[in-house]
C-alpha cells in the first residue's frame, strides 16, 4: 500500500481545525465509515475511512490517544480533501478485490470489518449513442446484487460536467437503459462514459452508534460518440 509521506501529511493537515480530537468524545459514540474502491481509470485501489461524532453527519474526528485504523495491516494516513473533509486513506497499484479494515479506538476497543468488490466492465464494443433513441448497455460481470446499484454517467470529454446520469437498482439486472428522455439533452459529439457498481451496508463491527461499509468498483472509462 502507498501512504503519503510525513511532510505531505503535515501540509495537508493545515486548516483541519474543524476536526475534533477523538479523545474529546465518548468512544462508543464514534460513527465509523469505511470505503474500499477500485478506480479503473487510475488503476488503483483506495481504502478510506472517516470518523464522526454521533452519526454520519456529526462532527469530524481526528484520531488521537493511540487510536488508529489499518487496512490489511497497513496504517492509513490522514488526508484533508478540497471540501475540508478529513479522511484516513491509503492506495495500492492495481486491482484489489477485498481486504480487512481494523479500527482501534482510544480505549483499546478493536472493530474489524471486511470489504469485498464485485467487478463490472463495459462490453467489448459500444455502438454510437443516438440522442433520439434509448440505448441498452449490457455490462460484463455479475448481475445487480442485494442493496447494490449500477450507474452510468456521461461527461463531455475534457470536462467534469455531468451530461446525464442513469441508475439500475433492480436485483438480478444485467443491463441498464440509457433513456431517450435524458439522451435528448446531450449534444452530439464525443462523451466519456463512467460505469460504477456500488453497495453501502451496515458495518459488521462498530461502536454502539453504528457504522457503514461502502464497496465501489469503477470500470476504466470509455469514449463513445453521440449522434442525432
Residue-wise pLDDT tens digits, 93-105: 999 999 999 999 9
Report yes or no: 32 and 207 within 8 Å, Cβ to Cβ: yes
Report yes or no: 100 and 47 within 8 Å, Cβ to Cβ: no
pLDDT of residue 147 exceeding 50: yes
Cα radius of gyration (the chain): 20
Q: What percent of the chain has pLDDT over 70?
A: 91
Q: What is the mean pLDDT of residues 9-14?
A: 40
pLDDT for residue 96: 97
Q: What is the mean pLDDT of residues 211-215?
A: 98
Query: How far is residue 57's CA from residue 195's CA, in Å, rounded to a whole number?
Result: 28
Q: How wide is the angle at C-alpha 129 spanned by C-alphas 185 and 184, nearest 5°? A: 15
Report yes or no: 71 and 79 within 8 Å, Cβ to Cβ: no
pLDDT tens digits for range 42-101 = 999 999 999 999 999 999 999 999 999 999 999 999 998 766 679 999 999 999 999 999
Dihedral over Cα of 161, 163, 169, 174: its sign: negative
pLDDT tens digits for range 157-211 = 878 789 999 999 999 999 999 999 999 999 999 999 999 999 999 999 999 999 9
pLDDT for residue 17: 52
pLDDT tens digits for range 98-134 = 999 999 999 999 999 999 999 999 999 999 999 999 9
Structure pTM?
0.89
User: For 61-151, where are the alpha helices, taking DSSP H only?
Assistant: none
The helix (H) or strand (E) run that includes residue 10 is: helix 6-13
pLDDT for residue 2: 40
Amino acid at each position: 500500500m502507498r501512504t503519503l509521506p510525513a511532510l505531505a501529511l503535515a501540509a495537508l493537515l493545515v486548516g483541519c481545525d474543524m476536526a475534533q480530537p477523538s479523545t474529546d468524545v465518548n468512544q462508543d459514540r464514534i460513527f465509523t465509515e469505511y470505503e474500499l474502491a477500485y478506480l479503473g481509470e487510475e488503476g488503483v485501489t483506495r481504502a478510506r475511512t472517516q470518523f464522526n461524532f454521533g452519526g454520519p453527519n456529526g462532527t469530524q474526528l481526528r484520531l488521537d490517544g493511540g487510536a488508529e485504523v489499518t487496512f490489511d495491516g497497513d496504517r492509513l494516513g490522514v488526508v484533508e480533501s478540497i471540501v475540508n473533509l478529513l479522511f484516513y486513506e491509503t492506495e495500492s497499484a492495481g486491482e484489489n478485490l477485498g481486504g480487512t479494515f481494523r479500527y482501534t479506538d482510544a480505549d483499546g476497543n478493536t472493530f474489524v470489518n471486511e470489504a469485498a468488490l464485485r467487478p463490472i466492465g463495459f462490453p467489448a464494443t459500444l455502438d454510437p449513442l443516438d440522442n433520439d433513441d434509448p440505448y441498452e448497455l449490457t455490462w460484463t460481470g455479475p448481475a445487480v446484487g442485494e442493496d447494490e446499484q449500477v450507474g452510468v454517467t456521461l461527461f463531455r470529454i475534457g470536462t467534469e460536467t455531468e451530461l446525464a446520469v442513469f441508475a439500475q437498482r433492480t436485483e438480478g439486472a444485467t443491463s441498464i437503459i440509457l433513456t431517450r428522455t435524458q439522451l435528448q439533452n446531450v449534444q452530439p459529439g464525443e462523451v466519456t462514459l463512467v460505469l460504477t457498481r456500488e453497495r453501502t451496508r451496515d458495518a459488521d463491527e462498530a461502536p454502539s452508534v453504528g457504522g457503514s461499509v461502502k464497496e465501489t468498483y469503477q470500470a476504466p472509462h470509455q469514449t463513445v460518440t453521440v449522434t442525432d
